[in-house]
Structure 1
């Protein structure tokens, strides 16, 4: 979530969110009348959910703690499941706020969507979620999405900065999850959008994980599909190639919430988070939680909020 994990692909749309069992229900009533919440929102407790992978829990903690700092009454219900579970949970009040990814969420509603830029995806998404009485707020710069990645050494030796530059190094080997061979932003798109077709595809089952990274670093493959928030990008000195033709759709982080809790005060609080959150922040946060430090999502989120001046 990356972006994205094996579970995200398994959810049944283009790179959708992780798949696990639904984890409980809130006892709060998100439709209760306002009686003067200090944060200015609905008087009901806001229940923040997350998908079942570390990055989503970190983002859930960031949202929850940012809202608590504004005086909202917040609880959390993390590690829920795929959109087939989180969307109904948002509608029935089991949760009423969750960090999402704009491109993946739009794919849930429209598997044939053609929007690619952040602006276009966000515009289409606003109308798509409204049909389910849901609302999205401003998206962050932060993205967790598939990316064509090379080592810095390979990039420097061959003058690579963008996916288009791969035409200069054909033939080469590319490592990615097996589905990448057929996905529109994978091998077929590489040929149709960038004219790069002399590629040997090497499948790896770990979806941009250690096996894929190792193959790239040891030159078993020269290009790999690795998600843009992977801590390996920094640890292994890797380069995400630019995508000037927007082959890969935007996957910006943004809040998805039940329309019943939508208020200007809530929007202001969450927009402030989105205005600060970057992809580099997500890499660093994931490294703290998933790396050797093994920090809790709560601690990592709290530290980030302080550094960002949001608490």
Structure 2
């Protein structure tokens, strides 16, 4: 088992936060692994005295208010949903979960149908896959991308998109260190021009349909591959480690990148838009949370920087800890 660096990450994150809170949340079992799904109900926390500004405590006004959170079907989304849920439980809400729903179209429809109240979504994914924005028109600035997503979520679905996380988790193009050496150690995606026709690329079926993902390697970079292999997103690292493919499309916050010493090519043509996370929820759920409940979400994600999110992902994917336990530890350590 690798040595965790949470202590150093905590200090780095807190140094950048001017008004961090301090509280501990007991881990609550939602699932046995990042690949399982849960719809267990978790009771509201016992009310505690009011505390200094920034510290989350149970509010009696939230008693009896139930929020059902969903997530997409990969580790990071599940961890973030657990962080949101445990923090809301601490604030006095009754929290229910339906995790590991699927990709964005499935999760978004669950909000539309009222099956869940909300889930964590990525701004770039929302804009291109759900809100009808051409990838070439997506703002490269993170704040501008969020504001565009917020506006379109409201006009198209009537949803509320809460303020985004500090970290952005972009798609990327990666390979093993050995394969990079065989190819002459390319540094950028453009460096694969003239070589890609001899390479096999693996990605999810959805990724091959999206211009801001594998489809963009053809449209934006002009790359043609020897073979395209459709895989489950959970296989994105093992597929190159087992030499079933030469290239893969990992997330930039994947802890496995460093652990496996994978080589990530620079997106020199800015194919990938910003992918900060926004908690997307129905207007009814937003009203139920109210300003105080929405502030809880903003507070607990202040420490979610790129290195911190990568560490949390690693604890689940590499060390096989439970997402809900990792979320609880994050809340205790960072706030």
**TM-score surpassing 0.5?**
yes
In structure 1, C-alpha distance between the alignment counterparts of 2:38 and 2:238, rounded to whole Å: 34
Q: CA deviation at 1:129?
A: 1.6
Q: Which residue of 2 aligns with 1:64?
A: 85
Counterpart secondary structure, 1:149: strand
Root-mean-square deviation (CA, aligned residues, Å) is 4.0
1:225 matched to 2:249? The reply is yes
Give the distance between the partners of 2:270 and 2:219, measured in 1 at CA.
12
Q: In the alignment, what sits opposite 1:110?
A: 132
Measure, in 2, the Cα distance between the counterparts of 1:85 and 1:218.
Answer: 30
Deviations 1:106-141 (A, max 9, x none): 322326453153334312211222133321112224
Distance 1:86 1:174, change over 3 A: closer
Contact 1:39 1:265 in 2 (8 A): no
Q: Mark the CA change 1:24 to 1:221 in structure 2 (over 3 Å): closer, same or farther.
A: closer
- Residue in 2 that maps onto 1:273: 300
Look up the match of 1:16.
none
Number of the residue aligned with 2:161: 136
Q: TM-score by structure 1 length?
A: 0.70
Q: Is the 8 A contact 2:202 2:239 kept in 1?
A: no
The residue number in structure 2 matching 1:11 is none
What is the SS of the residue equivalent to 2:199? strand
Provide structure 2 residue ranges, at least 5 long, that are not aligned to the other structure.
1-35, 45-57
Name the SS of the counterpart of 1:204 in structure 2.
strand
Determine if contact 1:25/1:94 at 8 Å carries over to the other structure: no
**How far is the alpha carbon of 1:248 from its aligned partner?**
2.0
Residue 263 of structure 1 corresponds to which residue in structure 2? 290
Does 2:96 correspond to 1:76? yes
Counterparts of 1:91-170 in structure 2, within 5 Å, are: 94-106=115-127, 107-110=129-132, 112=134, 114-117=137-140, 118-131=142-155, 132-152=157-177, 158=184, 160-167=186-193
1:229-240 equivalences in 2 (<5 Å): 229-240=253-264
1:285 corresponds to: 312
The equivalent residue for 2:7 is none
Give, in angstroms, the shift of residue 95 of structure 1.
Answer: 3.2
Residues 168 and 306 in structure 2, CA contact (< 8 A), matched pair in contact too: yes
Q: Any idea what SS the aligned residue of 1:110 has?
A: coil
| Residue in 2 that maps onto 1:300 | 326
Q: CA deviation at 1:204?
A: 2.5
2:214 and 2:249 in contact (8 A); partners too: no
Q: Is the 8 A contact 1:57 1:78 kept in 2?
A: no
1:21 CA displacement: 10
Q: Which TM-score applies when normalising by structure 2?
A: 0.66
Counterpart in the other structure of 2:18: none
SS of structure 2 residue aligned to 1:250: coil
Conserved? CA contact 1:48–1:75, under 8 Å = yes
* Larger RCO of the pair (alpha carbons < 8 Å, separation 6+): 2
Shift of 1:251: 2.6
**39 and 243 in structure 1: CA distance in 2 versus 1, 3 angstrom threshold:** farther
Give the deviation of 1:273 after TM superposition.
2.9
